[in-house]
Amino acid sequence: DVYKRQGHKTLVPQLIRALKKEGANDIKVVCGGVIPPQDYQVLYDAGVAAVYGPGTNIPVAAAEVLELLRKS
């Protein structure tokens, strides 16, 4: 089922639109999981703050997320 395999391309933009509609522009959305690298830009264009795929260095990702929060 394509929808289940590529839900990040539809569900994440829907989530971000819903957050904005509710005035939650200050909430940062971070995605992770088995997301093909060629789909990252789609997520960034939708407003995702960061994308982490398989093999992500957890301490590095944690530091990046903390930095995103500091900038908020």
pLDDT reported for residue 1:
47
For residue 71, CA distances in Å to 6, 21, 34, 60, 66 come to 30, 22, 27, 17, 9
Residue 9 CA, chain-centre distance (Å), reads 10
pLDDT reported for residue 65:
97
Specify the CATH number of the domain 2-71: 3.40.50.280
pLDDT, mean over the chain:
92
For residue 67, pLDDT over 60 is answered with yes
Which of 29, 35, 27 shows the shortest CA–CA distance to 54? 35
Question: What would the mean pLDDT of 38-51 be, rounded to a whole number?
Answer: 97
Opening angle at CA 17, ends 11 and 18, nearest 5: 85
Q: Is 8 exposed, middle or buried (0-12, 13-18, 19+ CB in 10 A)?
A: buried
pTM of the model: 0.84
Q: Where are the domains of the chain?
A: 2-71
